[in-house]
């Protein structure tokens, strides 16, 4: 993940949209961060374009990032195991919990969010931030990872430059390897070979990639994967080698396969349980054939080596049904390939399974079956919007509608839906949306409206009588519509196009085995809470890994855009105007939806407060 993408890019965009800095300044920050090998927060601090308070404001009000009180919250052991002590300290990020491939971490200084893209690259998971008191974060890092003095031997004390190797031997995925030597960077650990083969000695700690390459050739004992066949390999032998690597990676429990070019060599690396392990290496001149073999496997054979490529294929390896996503990016050193291995997911869950109430589910199904205009699903990043999106698409297909879907990544394959995946370096999402508008389709779906051109096309498609199902990153419906207006959508056109809005957040469910009543003080502060409300919270037990939580669900708000609401959208001066109109129209807000879960004992008031921040 390169500087200027991911969380960093979204925060910078938010700062620009809020008028706190110019687009030119944001671009200069990205370029300076890339040149200096650091993250954008460092450059912002040096140039004093914005203050930490400005960044916090954007995180909270524009991106819906909540605050958490670490004094009353214990990180989950599994989450702590995903991030090494050196990485957690270097980026001042405290892992809290992981849900479906999304790791939530707490940061104390708002500027630290700019380092989370590198953390995401290191651990191979998406990362979501929450804000906490800085002293509490530092104390918690000491509490759960040991005193700061104990960490000096574990790795660097400052954030690593993109493209380096961490103190735990983990290759930083933020960019290509640099050509100059890297200081204080141990080598990637060698993966142990299969049980039937002699066990190799681990690679000794080295300080540069050159030393690591030399040690790889000096190792004794047979390797589990032999890349030497590439020297004389024909197409058939390369195909066999690709199959062998996939079988070996799956057997080892790998979630990613990397082919990393560096100077005269390339490295075959697996990501296993969050860490990277080097499996083999070979001369860089041999890499092209292997990359081409993986591209052929993913039906990308026609893409030249000078262009990025992204492919997805459903396959069966060992005893597992898997989806392989193959990403290839040309770099100055050679082609860099990453294969993601994930379990093949069955059909998406239904609306009720996602936590939608019966009445709300009926309204959504009716809209999908008979409606026109924009059905907008708003949620923060990792707020579950994609799950609702796929449930709506599946229902549209089952109702006999023709559906065309534009997606950043495909989580579920729905046979009756025409799904297209946006390729890196290829056509924009707007180009795919425009192409879909020329198709004979009833429903145009976009998982992730991004820019003003996407919004304009969604409005245009709605004006053509089509139903547009779209997700948009926002804290709730009101802030989502307001952000679209801030992007540049024409107010009256957008108001006329909107027909139904869905806002949602994910909340963790109490463990049923260890839930106990609390004093109820926090529950009494939930908006609309009745007097004497009984609140339950998990205390932690072996069944929930001592976290107090088991599973997660979503809370929703659903808003029909009636004429009075549309009229407010057309003249709104802020999200508060739209929120007030929604309340006047009788919408049940997220707080009320969460309150119903607290009443049943499924969700604790503390968890609801973590997500919605109904207290100051």
Domain match, 82 and 104 both: yes
Domain match, 265 and 394 both: no
- Domain assignment present for residue 59? The answer is yes
Instruction: Note the pLDDT of residue 333.
Output: 81
Domain match, 332 and 400 both: no
Instruction: Note the pLDDT of residue 147.
Output: 61
135, 151, 167 - which closes a domain: 151
0.85 exceeded by pTM:
no
Confidence bin at 570 (pLDDT 50/70/90): very high
Confidence bin at 187 (pLDDT 50/70/90): very low
- pLDDT at position 190 over 70: no
- Domain assignment present for residue 204? The answer is no
Domain match, 389 and 432 both: yes
Q: Print the domain residue range for 34.
A: 6-151
- Domain assignment present for residue 493? The answer is yes
Q: What is the pLDDT of residues 2-28, one digit of tens each?
A: 333 478 888 898 888 777 888 888 888
The CATH number of the domain holding residue 213 is 3.30.450.90
Domain match, 287 and 367 both: no
The CATH number of the domain holding residue 125 is 3.30.300.160
152 vs 94, higher pLDDT: 94
151-160, 435-444, 578-587: segment of lowest average pLDDT: 151-160
131, 151, 171 - which closes a domain: 151
Contact predicate 33/42, CB 8 Å: yes
CA-based nearest residue to 254, from 181, 322, 186: 322
Q: What is the pLDDT of residues 276-327, one digit of tens each?
A: 788 999 999 999 999 999 999 988 888 888 888 888 888 889 888 888 989 8
Domain match, 277 and 250 both: yes
Contact predicate 97/508, CB 8 Å: yes
- Domain assignment present for residue 523? The answer is no
- Domain assignment present for residue 141? The answer is yes
Domain match, 390 and 339 both: no
For residues 193-216, average pLDDT:
35
Domain match, 224 and 123 both: no
With 0-12 / 13-18 / 19 or more C-beta atoms within 10 angstroms meaning exposed / middle / buried, residue 329 is middle
Confidence bin at 424 (pLDDT 50/70/90): low
289, 323, 343 - which closes a domain: 343
Which token pair is 490?
A: 């024409």
35-49, 54-68, 142-156, 385-399: segment of lowest average pLDDT: 142-156
Instruction: Note the pLDDT of residue 213.
Output: 41
- Domain assignment present for residue 527? The answer is no
Domain match, 31 and 74 both: yes
Instruction: Note the pLDDT of residue 382.
Output: 67
Give alpha helix (H) positions in 476-601.
Answer: 477-487, 491-497, 563-571, 575-584, 590-599
Domain match, 362 and 333 both: no
- Domain assignment present for residue 486? The answer is yes
Diameter over CA atoms, the chain: 78
Contact predicate 484/494, CB 8 Å: yes
Number of domains into which the chain is organized: 3
Domain match, 421 and 281 both: no
DSSP string, 332-353: SSSEEEEEEEEEPP-SPPPTGG
CA-based nearest residue to 448, from 432, 425, 461, 426: 432
For residues 121-137, average pLDDT:
83
- Domain assignment present for residue 170? The answer is no
Domain match, 267 and 307 both: yes
Instruction: Note the pLDDT of residue 118.
Output: 87
């Amino acid at each position: 993940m390169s500087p200027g993408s991911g969380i960093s890019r979204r925060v910078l965009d938010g700062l620009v949209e809020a008028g706190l800095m110019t687009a030119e300044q944001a671009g200069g920050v990205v370029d300076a961060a890339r040149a200096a090998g650091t993250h954008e927060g460092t450059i912002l601090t040096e140039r004093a374009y914005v203050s930490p308070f400005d960044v916090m404001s954007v995180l909270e009000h524009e991106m819906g990032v909540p605050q958490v009180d670490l004094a009353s919250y214990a990180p989950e052991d599994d989450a702590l195991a995903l991030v090494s002590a050196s990485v957690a300290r270097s980026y001042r990020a405290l892992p809290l919990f992981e849900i479906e491939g999304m790791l939530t971490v707490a940061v104390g200084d708002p500027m630290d969010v700019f380092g989370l893209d590198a953390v995401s690259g290191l651990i191979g998971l998406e990362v979501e931030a929450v804000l906490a008191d800085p002293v509490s974060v530092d104390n918690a890092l000491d509490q759960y990872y040991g005193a700061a003095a104990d960490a000096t031997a574990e790795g660097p004390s400052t954030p690593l430059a993109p493209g380096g190797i961490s103190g735990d031997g983990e290759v930083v995925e933020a960019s290509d390897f640099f050509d100059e030597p890297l200081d204080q960077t141990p080598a990637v650990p060698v993966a142990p070979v299969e049980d039937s083969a002699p066990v190799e000695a681990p690679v000794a700690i080295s300080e540069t990639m050159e030393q690591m390459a030399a040690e790889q050739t000096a190792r004794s004992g047979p390797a589990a994967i032999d890349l030497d066949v590439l020297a004389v390999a024909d197409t058939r032998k390369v195909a066999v080698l690709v199959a062998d690597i996939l079988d070996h990676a799956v057997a080892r429990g790998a979630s990613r396969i990397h082919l990393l070019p560096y100077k005269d060599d390339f490295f075959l690396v697996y990501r296993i349980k969050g860490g990277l392990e080097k499996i083999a290496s070979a001369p860089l001149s041999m890499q092209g054939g292997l990359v081409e073999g993986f591209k052929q496997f993913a039906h990308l054979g026609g893409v030249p080596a000078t262009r990025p490529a992204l492919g997805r294929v459903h396959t069966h390896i060992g005893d597992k049904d898997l989806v392989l996503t193959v990403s290839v990016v040309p770099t100055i050193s050679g082609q860099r390939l990453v294969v993601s291995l994930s379990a093949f997911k069955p059909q998406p869950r239904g609306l009720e399974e996602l936590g939608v109430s019966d009445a709300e589910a009926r309204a959504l199904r009716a809209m999908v079956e008979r409606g026109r205009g924009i059905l907008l699903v708003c949620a923060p990043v990792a707020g579950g919007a994609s799950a609702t999106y796929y449930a709506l698409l599946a229902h549209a297909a089952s109702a006999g509608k023709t559906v065309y879907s534009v997606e950043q990544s495909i989580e579920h394959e729905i046979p009756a839906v025409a799904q297209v995946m946006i390729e890196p370096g290829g056509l924009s999402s707007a180009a795919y949306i425009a192409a879909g508008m020329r198709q004979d389709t009833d429903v145009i779906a976009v998982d992730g409206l991004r820019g003003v051109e996407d919004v304009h096309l969604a409005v245009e498609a709605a004006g053509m009588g089509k139903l547009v199902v779209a997700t948009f990153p926002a804290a709730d419906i009101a802030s989502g519509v307001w952000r679209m207006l801030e992007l540049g959508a024409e107010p009256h056109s957008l108001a006329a196009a909107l027909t139904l809005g869905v806002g949602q957040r994910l909340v963790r469910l109490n463990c049923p085995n260890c839930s106990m009543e609390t004093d109820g003080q926090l529950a009494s502060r939930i908006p609309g809470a009745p007097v004497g409300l009984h609140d339950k919270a998990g205390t932690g037990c072996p069944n929930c890994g001592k976290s107090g939580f088991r599973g997660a669900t979503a809370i929703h708000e659903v808003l029909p855009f009636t004429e009075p609401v549309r009229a407010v959208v057309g003249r709104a001066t802020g999200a508060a105007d739209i929120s007030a109109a929604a309340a006047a129209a009788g919408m049940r807000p997220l707080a009320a939806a969460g309150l119903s879960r607290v009443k049943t004992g499924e969700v604790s008031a503390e968890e609801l407060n973590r997500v919605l921040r109904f207290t100051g």
